């Protein structure tokens, strides 16, 4: 397959590009390198020493004998460049990671909220519009989020995208289905909600073939391919804006920083290992919807865990201390989360569990590069609401 990976320089895009190249796909990375510029803006670096794209490509060619092409292009703002690329390359599929993916970053200020909306919504619409205008039948695979659902479901298991309902009509109750009602918890998550509506529209109107992956929180850093050579290493974010909860706890344990549990740590979230993420992308590519089908939605997660239980687990494995810190976010203090993920399991996903992989992760990454950490960047400082910014805790 010829595959365009939009956002192929990022945390998910890079390992996915290597995984697909390794299986023989012709991979073209399209990226504007914004993630590296945001590091500069925030004055922080990946814990792992990531290389430039030039070095990454050369290393991959050396190690695998395969080439990955790279096109520097801003998908959100260079529509004509994107359209010309689709016309010229005529890819079989596009994987769309070209969105700003951090909830805390999206909530930092008005500027960051507007940047996230502008970048993510424009990028998605440009991709959809360009597929239509190119005239090619390109399967679009988008990395969405579990956060479109919200996390409190009153005990109901979250289905894969669609909710079956009964509506009263003159002829009695009629069964139908709707997109599961959305309840985003940040401006970032809201952009993925807006994406969902655009996907539904283009699948209906132009019969585009679209797969939307509602992904949980990734843990882990490297995949089979990124481990082949240190120059291929994936990024590891630990700072208060981009670091996600479990990887932050692993890094904090490695540097002797008390694990930063927000509030009571009663938030339950969905998780998936990075190796399983790339496998899911492959499965999604191999199983496209047909033209005219509704958007195919998968819940891309393998386990759910409560934040304080994760902290306790990491503390038990490493001897780290746990600290309950005030929650900078507006989110439910406690929630249950039950999620269906039968689609990927039925298509052969064999998940890596936390119990198998956690210790290896601490030793291989967090511990190995601990001396590169800047401890001053650990606290999460992005406050969700104007009341919090004025010093009043958020109401839940
Ligand atoms: N949390 C802590 N301590 C920390 C960091 C986070 O208690 O030091 C808590 C947060 O308050 C939140 C939970 O852990 O309740 C998850 O936070 P996170 O930063 O790990 O994840 P989130 O902001 O939801 O975003 C991440 C990715 C995003 C992806 C999403 C999947 O950055 O791209 O879409 O996970 S999901 O959470 O399932 O929506």
In this structure, of 104-108, 148-152, 271-275, 297-301, the range with the lowest mean pLDDT score is: 148-152
Question: Binning pLDDT at 50, 70 and 90, where does residue 396 land?
Answer: low
The answer as to whether 378 is a domain residue is no
Q: Looking at the CA of residue 101, tell me the nearest atom of ligand 1.
A: 33
Ligand 1 center to 266 CA (angstroms): 13
Q: Is the ipTM of this complex over 0.95?
A: yes
pLDDT at 355: 83
Contact criterion met (CB below 8 Å) for 262 and 380: yes
96 assigned to some structural domain: yes
Q: What lines the ligand 1 site, CB under 6 Å?
A: 101-103, 145-147, 215-217, 244-245, 248, 260-262, 265, 267, 269-270, 307, 327, 329, 331, 380
Instruction: Say how many Å lie between the CA of residue 337 and the centre of ligand 1.
Output: 14
Atom of ligand 1 nearest to the CA of 301: 38
What spacing in Å lies between the alpha carbon of 309 and ligand 1's midpoint?
A: 15
Supply the range of the domain harboring residue 232.
Answer: 2-238+271-301+340-352
Q: Nearest Cα to 257, choosing from 102, 363, 374, 358? A: 374
- Report if residue 88 sits inside a domain: yes
Could you tell me if residue 391 is inside a domain? no
In a domain, 374, yes or no: no
Which pTM value belongs to this model? 0.97
pLDDT per position as a tens digit, 67-82: 999 999 999 999 999 9
Q: How high does pLDDT run on average in the chain?
A: 96
* 357 burial level (CB within 10 Å; 0-12, 13-18, 19+): middle
How many whole angstroms separate alpha carbon 198 and alpha carbon 144? 13
211/281 Cα distance (integer angstroms):
10
Query: Which atom of ligand 1 lies at the shortest distance from residue 242's CA?
Result: 32
Which pLDDT belongs to residue 289?
Answer: 98
H or E stretch covering 282: helix 274-286
CA dihedral for 13, 100, 305, 286, sign (positive or negative): negative
Rg (CA), the chain: 21
Q: What is the CATH number of the domain that holds 106?
A: 3.40.50.720
CA–centroid distance, residue 269 to ligand 1 (Å) = 8
Helix (H) or strand (E) holding 215: strand 210-215
Does residue 155 lie within any of the structural domains?
yes
**For the chain, how many structural domains are there in total?**
1
């Amino acid at each position: 397959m010829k595959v365009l990976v939009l956002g192929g320089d990022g945390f998910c895009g890079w390992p996915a590009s290597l995984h697909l190249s390794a299986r023989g796909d012709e991979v073209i990375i399209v990226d504007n390198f914004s993630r590296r510029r945001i590091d500069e803006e925030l004055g922080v670096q990946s814990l792992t020493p990531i290389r430039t794209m030039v070095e990454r490509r050369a290393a991959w060619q050396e190690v695998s004998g395969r080439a990955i092409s790279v096109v520097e292009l801003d998908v959100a703002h260079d529509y004509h460049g994107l359209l010309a690329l689709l016309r010229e390359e005529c890819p079989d599929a596009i994987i769309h990671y070209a969105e700003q993916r951090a909830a805390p970053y999206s909530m930092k200020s008005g500027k960051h909220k507007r940047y996230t909306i502008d970048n993510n919504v424009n990028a998605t619409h440009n991709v959809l519009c360009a597929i239509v205008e190119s005239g090619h039948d390109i399967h679009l695979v988008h990395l969405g989020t579990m956060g479109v659902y919200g996390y409190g479901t009153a005990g109901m298991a979250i289905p894969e995208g669609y909710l079956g309902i009964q509506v009263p009509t003159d002829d009695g109750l009629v069964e139908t289905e709707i997109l599961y009602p959305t309840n985003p918890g940040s401006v970032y998550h809201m952009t993925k909600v807006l994406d969902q509506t655009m996907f539904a529209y283009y699948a209906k109107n132009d019969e585009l073939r679209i797969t939307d992956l509602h992904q949980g929180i990734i843990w882990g850093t490297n995949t089979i391919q990124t481990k082949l050579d240190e120059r291929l290493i994936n990024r590891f974010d630990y700072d208060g804006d981009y670091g996600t909860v479990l990887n932050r706890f692993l890094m904090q344990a490695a540097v002797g920083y008390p694990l930063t549990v927000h509030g009571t740590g009663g938030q339950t979230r969905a998780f998936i290992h990075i190796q399983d993420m790339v496998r899911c992308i492959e499965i999604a590519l191999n199983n496209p919807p047909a033209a005219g089908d509704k958007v195919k939605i998968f819940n891309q997660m393998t386990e759910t865990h409560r934040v304080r239980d994760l902290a306790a687990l990491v503390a038990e494995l490493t001897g780290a201390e746990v600290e309950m810190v005030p929650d900078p976010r507006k989110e439910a203090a406690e929630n249950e989360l039950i999620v269906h993920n039968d689609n990927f399991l039925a298509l052969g996903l064999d998940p890596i569990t936390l119990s198998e992989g956690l210790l290896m992760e601490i030793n291989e990454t967090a511990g190995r590069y601990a001396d590169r950490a800047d401890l001053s960047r650990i606290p999460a400082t992005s406050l969700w609401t104007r009341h919090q910014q004025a010093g009043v805790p958020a109401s839940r």
